[in-house]
Structure 1
Amino acid sequence: MLPVYDLLHSNAGADRIVQTSLDFWKAGRNRDELELKDLETLLSLSVFNDNQSGFFHTSLIDKNLVDFFVPFLPLEYEHVVQCTMAEMRARGLQPDRDVADKVAKDLVYFPKSERVFSVKGCKTIESKLHYYT
């Protein structure tokens, strides 16, 4: 019999994920080089010690009852382009890189001066795409 896992989705630790992603970028490392081991302990401690987190000093973490922390990394420009191309396909449109670039350029990125990561990921692609098609 296969093991059964419960899944809990949370924004807890998001600041640490973003900071680690930025640190990798500033060091000239690719976001895809980030591994779970780079974030897992950091996330566990961060959410355990954050009094704004729903996991603040919880026994779930204290007693090592959480098997995995799965970080969702911030999306870069190229990922937003990929989301836009996928949304075009989902709408039955021919994917168009020029349109995808226009949509991706219209989003807000951070840090402000470098525009590395999308502030909202791909959440607004669906609503913005109709302006360009």
Structure 2
Amino acid sequence: MKLALSLAILSLVTCSTCLDPLSATVAVGAAAISKAGQLFCASGLRECCDSKWVKNDLDGLKRDLEKRLHGQHLVTQILTKAITAHVLDDNPQKPLVMSFHGWTGGGKSFVAQMLVENLYELGEKSRFVHLFYSELHFKHDSQIGTYKDQLHQWIFSNASACQRSLFIFDEMDNMPPGVIDVLIPFLGHYKQVDGVDFRKSIFIFIGNTGGDLISKIAYKQTQEEKQREDLALHDFQEPLEISTFNVVGGLQGSGIIQRQLIDHLIPFLPLERRHVKMCVKDEFRRLGRSNFTDYFAEQVLNELEWGPGHAGLYSKSGCTKVAQKIKLYPD
């Protein structure tokens, strides 16, 4: 009998955090469910929106960015400061909104994964981490109205469950223009929107838009015999904002850009041979292989495409294909 009652209460607790906004508003048994939820949180049987589960391991994030991310000095500098300042602020003025830009393989999704792993105890399995793929969730231009309604409900109901929620939108360049603007009320300085406080949440947009522009700026730096590491955020901000607003994609003509709601437009630079070589070494370590040599690394690098033109300074696929290319050279 006790077991049956416990399972029934657990069922109610789970149901109370379902994503269906209609279910979330059912008042019957609300007090009992709330009490049961507190008991399960205290016992550790259920993921809850507290410091045990939203762990905010800032030292771990800094360490991962410095050791596992290669060739992205701007990302490491900006992200470490932005995330630290936001999660340590008990009363932030607005949600933290960042947009990652650059060629494929530069580390955009990799960095998002680092954030998930270091901010949440359960990582990507956390109920408070929400990942949207444009080609999966917003693939039909004819259903923009439906997508906007669904996205509004999804964000609202999940932020209600945990103010420290993380929302990641990948493949922004493939999202129909206009859909993302449904987020505008949630990204501003409002203390509450219909009773929900979004200011502790984090929103991340990821896309390839602006990648060619970023690469041109980086290449010009090299042609002028200047250090890549001397590039600063202000070298990219205005041209990247203009490009993102005008190029076809999820942020084209967006009110989010017009209203200056994105806190950081973060450029991911194209990767040179020395950076991709580090990715090769990392993959060897992950596979537990001890036969890494510079010669072997060069063999793998030669399997990749390089540009621009004959200069061949940057990997066109970044580190994305490294793991598969290494498999061509077994132990």
TM-score, normalised relative to structure 2: 0.38
Query: Matches of 2:264 and 2:306 in 1, distance apart?
Result: 29
Corresponding residue of 1:32 = 229
Q: Does 1:53 align with 2:273?
A: no
Preserved contact between residue 24 and residue 31 of structure 1 (Cα < 8 Å): yes
Deviations 1:14-42 (A, max 9, x none): 12111111111211122222221111121
Counterpart selection for 1:91 from 283, 287, 291: 287
Corresponding residue of 1:9 = 206
Corresponding residue of 2:146 = none
The farther-off stretch of 115-124 and 12-21 is: 12-21
Corresponding residue of 1:119 = 316
Secondary structure of the equivalent of 1:6?
strand
| Offset, 1:114 | 1.1
| Offset, 1:75 | 0.3
For 1:31, give the aligned amino acid.
R
Counterpart selection for 1:81 from 277, 286, 290: 277
Corresponding residue of 2:261 = 65
Secondary structure of the equivalent of 2:268?
coil
For 2:283, give the aligned amino acid.
E
Preserved contact between residue 47 and residue 55 of structure 1 (Cα < 8 Å): yes
The CA RMSD over aligned residues, in Å, is 1.5
Aligned residue-pair number: 132
Query: Matches of 2:228 and 2:301 in 1, distance apart?
Result: 18
For 1:4, give the aligned amino acid.
S
The farther-off stretch of 19-28 and 64-73 is: 19-28
Query: Matches of 2:310 and 2:279 in 1, distance apart?
Result: 23
For 2:300, give the aligned amino acid.
V
Deviations 1:73-116 (A, max 9, x none): 10000011100000000000123222112111221110221110
Counterpart selection for 2:219 from 22, 25, 28: 22
**Percent of counterpart pairs with the same letter?**
28
Preserved contact between residue 85 and residue 97 of structure 1 (Cα < 8 Å): no
Secondary structure of the equivalent of 1:107?
coil
Query: Matches of 1:101 and 1:117 in 2, distance apart?
Result: 14
Deviations 1:60-82 (A, max 9, x none): 00010000011111000001110
Identify, as 1 or 2, the structure richer in strand: 2
Secondary structure of the equivalent of 1:71?
strand
Counterpart selection for 2:302 from 105, 121, 130: 105
Higher relative contact order (CA 8 A, sep 6+): 2
The farther-off stretch of 57-66 and 90-99 is: 90-99
4+ residue segments displaced more than 3 Å: none
Q: Between Structure 1 and Structure 2, whose CA radius of gyration is higher?
A: 2
